[in-house]
Amino acid sequence: MMASELEVIIFLIKNFNLCVLKLNKIKKVVQEMEVHNVELVMSAVAPAQYPTTGYPEIALVGRSNVGKSSLTNVLINRNSYARTSSQPGKTQTLNFYNVEDQLYFVDVPGYGYAKVSKTEREKWGKMIETYLSTRPQLKGVISLVDARHAPSEDDVAMYDWLHYYQIPILVVATKSDKVVRGKWNKSESLIKKTLHFSEPDEFQLFSAQTKMGKDQVWQWIEKRIGED
């Protein structure tokens, strides 16, 4: 064996071992669900502003005020770290949250807010489409809907769009604590029927108040970021 070939083999083995160690560290963070270090590192509107660390990314999409920030706060064990607002349409950038230097949660601007101008909605739409359709670090999308109602036309359009680009989807029905427990199955059936839900997509009821569904969402995230 030539010396150069041996060097290549050693290099590949070292890098493989580093990848295994990194993946095991990610799994440890997720499995323990103990998040201590979180930082909003970037609010971006264009690819040139995206983080360059290469960490896997999980995006959160949904209508304005559906609870994206509340879900993020529950997942990272914070009361009000992610930006929450009583004013729909407040989030206007792609907010990248660095979680334990292992992955990013990406809070995407909410859609469907009527008081935002058509020009502004079109600008947000292009920004969101560019990110979701071209970002190689994106490993999956958590699509949030309100458990109390059937998904809106915008929710259905987003779900169809994600399917078109073959992006893994977890549909999370927020505010489930506001639905009578005996009607959870009915709520889930209505949401799935309206979205034309299909496998291998997954579904989860969630409540920011009771933390119901938190563990299951983390398990889905682990599966997504551990596939490569």
Number of domains in the chain: 1
Is residue 127 a part of any domain in this protein?
yes
Structural domain harbouring 205:
33-225
Is residue 126 a part of any domain in this protein?
yes
Spatial distance between the Cα atoms of 127 and 47, rounded to a whole number of angstroms: 9
Is residue 167 a part of any domain in this protein?
yes
pLDDT, residue 31, reads 47
Instruction: State the pTM of this model.
Output: 0.81
Is residue 218 a part of any domain in this protein?
yes
Is residue 24 a part of any domain in this protein?
no
Is residue 20 a part of any domain in this protein?
no
3-state SS, residue 42: strand
Is residue 3 a part of any domain in this protein?
no
Paired with 58 in beta bridges are 105, 140
pLDDT, residue 181, reads 95
The domain that holds 127 is classified in CATH as 3.40.50.300
Is residue 37 a part of any domain in this protein?
yes
Spatial distance between the Cα atoms of 57 and 86, rounded to a whole number of angstroms: 26
Task: Provide the residue-wise pLDDT of the chain in tens; the chain has 228 residues.
Answer: 555 555 655 555 555 555 555 555 555 544 445 787 899 999 999 999 999 999 999 999 999 889 998 999 999 888 766 654 444 445 689 999 999 999 999 999 888 765 666 677 778 789 999 999 999 999 999 999 999 999 999 999 999 999 999 999 999 999 999 999 999 999 999 999 999 999 999 999 999 999 999 999 999 999 999 876
